Amino acid sequence: MSDFNNEIRDRKMIVIKLTVEFPNGFCVGVGSVGNQIRILRAGNGSFLLPGTSIAGVLRSAFRSWNSQFDCFFGSAPSEKREDQKRPSPLQVEDVLIDPKKEITSNRVSHLRCRHAGSVVDSGLYSVESAPAKTSSVFYLRLNTSDPTLDASLIDPFLKQLAAFFQDGLVFGGNGNRGIGLAQLKDNHPLQIKEYDLTQPKEYACWLNDDYRLRSKSNIEGWQDLKSNSGSADTLTVEWNFEIPSGQDILVSDGKGLDAESEPHRITAADGHDYWLLPGSSLRGLFRNECLRLAAKEGKKIADSLERYEQNGETQGDEIGWLFAKEKKDDEDFLHRIDQKYPLESLFGSLHKKGRLHISDGLSKTENDRKSMEEMAADFTCPVQYRVHVVLDPISGGAIDGALFDNYVLTSGGRIPIQFPIKMIVHHPKEEEVRWLAQTLRSIHLGRLRVGSSKSAGRLSIKKGTLRAHGEYANLFNGICRELNGEWYNPNTASEENVPAADSIADPDPEKRADPPLEGILHVIKKGEKTNYQVTYTNTKGKKEPNKPLYQNKRYFNDNDAVDGDKVCIILEKGQFKEVWIAGKPKTESPKTTGTQVRSGKSNNMPTSTNNLAKAPASILGLPFHNPYTFIPFTKGESPRKAPAPRTIDERETDRFCGVLELELETVSPLMINEGKSKKSENSHKVYSIQTIDQDVIVPATGVRGFLRNLATIATGGPLTVLEEETWLCQGRDLSLPLSHKKEEPLSPVILARIIEPGNSRKEGIIEIGETIYVFARRLEKLWNDSGHNGELPRPGAKGNGTKLWAKVNGETVVSLKGSPDFEHTSEVKLSGRPVKNENKNKNDEDDKREGVFVRPLRRITLPAEYWAAYISRNKHGNHPELRKGELRSGDTDPRFIYCTDPRPLLSLFTIRGSVP
């Protein structure tokens, strides 16, 4: 008995309870199946967070904070001394999270090469994760009976543990994708319960409570533990992104259920739908801009363009390993990464985990479970439908088959969208935080865009939401002051008179109003038109001479304006917001836009009465040619300059980044309509002008397009289409050239099976077959006789239909089946559905024909130019490539039927199948 008392004399057990929420979900991977990363699950289907993963994250956090707390995690035996093994006083068990069956989270991502600006080969993948807002309770047990454990460290250990979870810890190997962040739910404090195991009653209580915890029952007697203020070597920054007025963004989910591209929308564990701004997208944006800033300061870049070009064709793993030949466990190389390559040290690589985490941003929608189409039709929702078309750069017209659509998130809607973002930086350095702060400011000012090029991609920080605490948090003070309307220069201000970033409150914009500036009005008359300019001194003491004053900024009557009058000026971001004449009352807000309704058949079209005189075409040095005035080629060799750098590590010093603000004024009627029409009472299609809320907008894609064309013309840019076989009718399927009365083509059109497809650089092999043509009505009757009611399974717009196999007797099809057998050996090449099915009630001789590949005759090798021609003509069509085993039609001259020379073959094409 004395030995037992000595064993438990100082033994105590502390149970720690943590109510933890994963606001963005988590993925502790179990491996990948194909290109999908799968989450670890228990045998009953529950998400599993292994205790070893929890212990590993905690050990890493405490070791980086203070290595003396390693004693709480035990130690493994060394190779030389077995007696160095010590069990861990902190006991962590697996956590099971039972998801709702109807809620799953599977996001599509890709690996993008920043050097080439495209997705790397095999870089598309998906990640399965627990749904956002998943929560669970962690129970940890701390056994203090180890005599080597310093009792004075227990209380600091528990308080720091609470501080880590209050700031946020990242679990799983997919933290770079914005998921895995775990923090205390709804500010629940860390709770503990102590048991003195030297007392029999408390020992029995411990056994009972431990049984209840394992059986998922509640126990009482918990004590709240106040945490530390936070980790001294961790920077935490939080803010809310919003979409500015009149702007839109699109970060596509990669699924495209209702349109080509749709914004990310996920269903969280609480059953609500949320718009998602992926943390991986923000991380990529921050990394590229921080890399530019680091390279500008002369920092070394491990993943440099020089290494990329030296390696030739590059795979994703080579980029992730920084093109380094060293082994991944080389400690010297890992040390060199921290010392020489600051960006790889901050953002991480395959060699080493990064120190930066940027969370997903979730914003709750007001239309749970509604489709994109339903929300786009509801003007109280922030979703808008857009239609786009690829323009031919030669003719300026739309390319056939290149129409596509998407949905975007806008600043409209009943409740503006906000995306709460949290950024955590462990062991930050001053230069790193400075780069991150400059990048965040660039996003807020609009210099950096987010998401697809088919939207403006503009985000800004919501006033009063930026909070920063931890090491170097003061570097975010300048952004806080700019948000509150006070422009702050960090180079001239001292830290003593600048409040902390997390202490700056959002002032009431109604109560805070800058006094108006004074200026001189200049009235300029040109014929019947009157223009205005203003001279004034700005807030920085710089004189602004003769700055134009547009109509929508004038708050005075034209009759009251006299040259030399004093005016009062209110600026917004350095531009005129309101200007009125001093000593006279301000007039009502001027109307900036107007809309007109136009009928497609009316001859009385309204015309603009204030069109400016347009410059004649002769200004280009050439006469005018309808419908376009083409820019002539230069005589002789065109002057060429070195291409713009693909990445900033090329260190171009004569290029600048900034914001170009344009103010457009409509001088003639402008029509930018919505993608979908509305039918009027007389069945005419009516298109509404495109707006966001009450603002008429010019889409960013339109501005981007005409600026790009203008830049190409002004700089003598090269032609964008250089393929000889690319015609203006790209993507068009050709009609089968058959006679109206006979089942035979007017010219020899044969069917060929693709044996080995080629491309623009590689020859391929086709198999020529004996081809017969049959009326589609006869095939349809045979198909119905075989037990299939309905139309023939023709190919759709996005893919092929069911293959049909025919039994042929001479030149007559006897029967059809959906699979081949020893009798049905001839494959039927069905064409697409007729554009206008007007021949339903006509005779057979007016019906369309279908080809049947009766039997193979011979194989022919086609040179690369044949395959290049097909790819060029069908680049934007429904069948942009030729696949092995497919049947395709060939347009030939008669010699091709009887020889093996490929030269008589005119082309390969896809038959649309309408009767000419």
What tens digit of pLDDT does each residue of 291-305 get? 888 888 888 888 888
Q: Which residues contact 562 (CB under 8 A, 6 or more apart)?
A: 521, 523
φ, ψ (nearest 5 deg) of residue 561: -85, 125
SS3 581: strand
Question: What pLDDT is attached to residue 358?
Answer: 95
- When pLDDT is averaged across residues 230-239 and rounded to a whole number, the result is 83
**Which residue has better confidence, 885 or 622?**
885
pLDDT tens, position by position, 766-786: 888 788 888 888 888 888 888
Question: What pLDDT is attached to residue 330?
Answer: 65
Residues facing 534 on adjacent strands: 521, 547
Q: Which residues contact 1 (CB under 8 A, 6 or more apart)?
A: none
For the ranges 397-401, 559-563, 868-872, the maximum mean pLDDT occurs at 559-563
Question: What pLDDT is attached to residue 525?
Answer: 82
For the entire predicted model, the pTM comes to 0.71
Lowest mean pLDDT across 150-154, 218-222, 497-501: 497-501
For the ranges 220-234, 245-259, 486-500, the maximum mean pLDDT occurs at 245-259
Q: What is the band of 621 on the pLDDT scale with cuts at 50, 70, 90?
A: low
- Residue 555: is its pLDDT beyond 50? yes
Question: What pLDDT is attached to residue 461?
Answer: 94
Q: Which residue has the tokens 């509801």?
A: 378
What would the DSSP string read from start to end of 449-511?
--B-TTS----EEPTT--EEEETTGGGGHHHHHHHTT----TTT--STTS--GGG-----TTT
Q: What is the band of 891 on the pLDDT scale with cuts at 50, 70, 90?
A: low
Element (H, E) at 749: strand 749-756
Dist CA 242 CA 265 (whole Å): 16
Question: What pLDDT is attached to residue 404?
Answer: 86
Enumerate helices (H) and strands (E) in the chain, giving the number of each. Answer: 15, 41
Q: What is the band of 199 on the pLDDT scale with cuts at 50, 70, 90?
A: confident
- When pLDDT is averaged across residues 508-519 and rounded to a whole number, the result is 62
Question: What pLDDT is attached to residue 797?
Answer: 46
Q: How many beta carbons lie within 10 A of that of residue 463, not counting itself?
A: 16
- Residue 612: is its pLDDT beyond 80? no
- Residue 608: is its pLDDT beyond 50? no
Region at 97 (left for phi over 0; alpha for psi -120 to 50; beta for the rest)? beta
- When pLDDT is averaged across residues 483-495 and rounded to a whole number, the result is 53
Q: What is the band of 434 on the pLDDT scale with cuts at 50, 70, 90?
A: very high
Question: What pLDDT is attached to residue 911?
Answer: 36
What is the percent of the chain with per-residue pLDDT over 90, rounded to a whole number? 15
- When pLDDT is averaged across residues 190-211 and rounded to a whole number, the result is 90
Q: What is the band of 81 on the pLDDT scale with cuts at 50, 70, 90?
A: low
What would the DSSP string read from start to end of 255-268?
--SSSSB-B-EEE-
Question: What pLDDT is attached to residue 502?
Answer: 39
Dist CA 357 CA 436 (whole Å): 12
- Residue 822: is its pLDDT beyond 60? yes
**Which residue has better confidence, 844 or 767?**
767
- When pLDDT is averaged across residues 703-708 and rounded to a whole number, the result is 83
SS3 339: helix
- Residue 881: is its pLDDT beyond 80? no
Handedness of CA 567, 571, 574, 579 (dihedral sign): negative
Question: What pLDDT is attached to residue 676?
Answer: 77
Q: What is the band of 110 on the pLDDT scale with cuts at 50, 70, 90?
A: confident
For the ranges 79-93, 532-546, 606-620, 672-686, the maximum mean pLDDT occurs at 532-546
Q: What is the band of 21 on the pLDDT scale with cuts at 50, 70, 90?
A: very high
Question: What pLDDT is attached to residue 459?
Answer: 94
- Residue 356: is its pLDDT beyond 50? yes
Joined together, the tokens standing for residue 352 give 């080493």
Q: What is the band of 63 on the pLDDT scale with cuts at 50, 70, 90?
A: confident
**Which residue has better confidence, 252 or 187?**
252
Average pLDDT, the chain: 77
Handedness of CA 499, 505, 506, 508 (dihedral sign): negative
Joined together, the tokens standing for residue 533 give 């300019």
What is the percent of the chain with per-residue pLDDT over 70, rounded to a whole number? 74
Question: What pLDDT is attached to residue 740?
Answer: 43
Q: What is the band of 616 on the pLDDT scale with cuts at 50, 70, 90?
A: low
Question: What pLDDT is attached to residue 486?
Answer: 60
Question: What pLDDT is attached to residue 77?
Answer: 61
- When pLDDT is averaged across residues 853-866 and rounded to a whole number, the result is 83
Label the pairing between strands 95-97 and 47-49: antiparallel
Dist CA 337 CA 349 (whole Å): 10
Question: What pLDDT is attached to residue 468?
Answer: 92
**Which residue has better confidence, 204 or 621?**
204
**Which residue has better confidence, 725 or 240?**
240
**Exposed, middle or buried, 607 (CB in 10 Å: 0-12/13-18/19+)?**
exposed
- When pLDDT is averaged across residues 636-648 and rounded to a whole number, the result is 69
Per-residue DSSP letter, 677: -
Question: What pLDDT is attached to residue 443?
Answer: 94
For the ranges 96-110, 411-425, 481-495, the maximum mean pLDDT occurs at 411-425
- Residue 509: is its pLDDT beyond 80? no
Q: What is the band of 245 on the pLDDT scale with cuts at 50, 70, 90?
A: confident
SS3 777: helix
- When pLDDT is averaged across residues 138-155 and rounded to a whole number, the result is 85
Q: What is the band of 640 on the pLDDT scale with cuts at 50, 70, 90?
A: low
- When pLDDT is averaged across residues 413-428 and rounded to a whole number, the result is 90
- Residue 916: is its pLDDT beyond 90? no
Q: What is the band of 239 on the pLDDT scale with cuts at 50, 70, 90?
A: very high
- When pLDDT is averaged across residues 496-522 and rounded to a whole number, the result is 55
